[in-house]
Structure 1
Amino acid sequence: MSIQDRTARQAGLLYLLIVLIAPYRLIYVPGALFVSGNTAATVANIAAHETLFRFGLAADLACGVLMAFVVLALYRLLGDVDRRHGLAMLLLGGALVPALYFFNLINDAAALLLIHGGDALTAFDPAQRAALAMLFLRLHGQAVGAAELLWGLWLFPLALLVLRSGFLPRLFGYALILNGLAYVIQSFAWALRPDWQDTLSSLLGPLQFVEVLFMLWLLVLGARRSFRRTKAPSVTPTGT
Structure 2
Amino acid sequence: MHALTRTARMTGLFYLGMAITAALGFLILRPRLYAADDPGATLANLVTHGSLARASVALELAMVVMQALTAVCFYRLFRTVNSLAASGIAAFGLVNAVVGLVSAAMLGTALQVSVDPVGDPAATVQVLYLVSLNMWGVGALFFGLWLIPMGWCVLRSGWMPRVLGWILVVGGVGYVLSPFVLYLARDAQVLFDAMAYPASVGEFWMIGYLLIRGVRRKALDEAPTTVHTPTPVAS
State the TM-score, normalized to the length of structure 1: 0.85
**Distance across 2 between alignment mates of 1:89 and 1:194:** 30
CA-CA distance at 1:192 after TM superposition: 2.0
Paired residue for 2:89? 89
Say what the alpha-carbon RMSD is for the aligned residues.
1.6
SS at match of 2:195: helix
How many Å apart are 1:35 and its aligned residue?
2.7
Which AA in structure 2 matches 1:72? V
2:203 match: 211
CA distance in 2, matches of 1:4, 1:186: 34
Whether contact under 8 Å (1:7, 1:76) holds in the other structure is: yes
| 2:159 equivalent to 1:174 | no
**Distance across 2 between alignment mates of 1:106 and 1:202:** 26
Deviation at 1:226, TM superposition (A): 4.5
> What is the CA deviation profile of residues 52-98 of structure 1, one whole-angstrom value per residue up to 9, with x for unaligned ones?
111111111111111111121111111111111111111111x2111
1:40 partnered with 2:46? no
In 1, Cα distance between equivalents of 2:34 and 2:125: 12
2:147 aligned partner, one-letter code = L
> Aligned equivalents of 1:188 and 1:88: distance in 2?
22
1:5–1:224 Cα contact (<8 Å) kept = no
Checking the alignment, whether the CA contact within 8 Å between 2:11 and 2:73 is kept in structure 1 is: yes
Q: Is the 8 A contact 1:162 1:168 kept in 2?
A: yes
Counterpart of 1:184?
176
Instruction: Give the CA deviation at 1:205.
Output: 3.5
Q: TM-score, normalised by structure 2?
A: 0.87
Count the aligned residue pairs.
Answer: 218
Confirm or deny: 8 A CA contact 1:34 1:45 kept in the other structure: yes
Distance 1:165 1:226 in 2: 9
Give the 3-state SS of the residue equivalent to 2:196 in structure 1.
helix
State, as a whole percentage, how many aligned pairs show the same letter: 28
Instruction: Quote the offset at 1:202 in angstroms.
Output: 4.0
* Pairing 1:16–2:16 present: yes
- Partner of residue 102, structure 1: 101
**Contact 1:114/1:129 (8 A) holds in 2:** yes
Letter in 2 for 1:146: V
Q: Structure 1: which amino acid aligns with 2:124?
A: L
C-alpha separation between the residues in 2 aligned to 1:100 and 1:203? 22
Task: Confirm or deny that 1:4 pairs with 2:36.
Answer: no
Query: Is the 2:182–2:192 contact (alpha carbons within 8 Å) kept by the matching residues of 1?
Result: no
Task: Map 1:1-240; keep pairs closer than 5 Å.
Answer: 1-93=1-93, 95-117=94-116, 121=118, 124=119, 128-196=120-188, 198-207=189-198, 208-226=200-218
Contact 1:166 1:225 in 2 (8 A): no
Kindly indicate whether the alpha-carbon contact (under 8 Å) linking 1:97 and 1:150 is maintained by their aligned counterparts in 2: yes
Please list every run of 5 or more consecutive structure 1 residues that lacks an aligned counterpart in the other structure: 228-240
Q: Which amino acid is 1:83 matched to?
A: S
Q: Is the 8 A contact 1:148 1:183 kept in 2?
A: yes
**Higher-Rg member (1/2):** 1
> 2-side partners of 1:111 and 1:68: how far apart?
24
Letter in 2 for 1:137: Y
Counterparts of 1:35 and 1:13, CA distance in 2:
33
In 2, Cα distance between equivalents of 1:108 and 1:202: 24
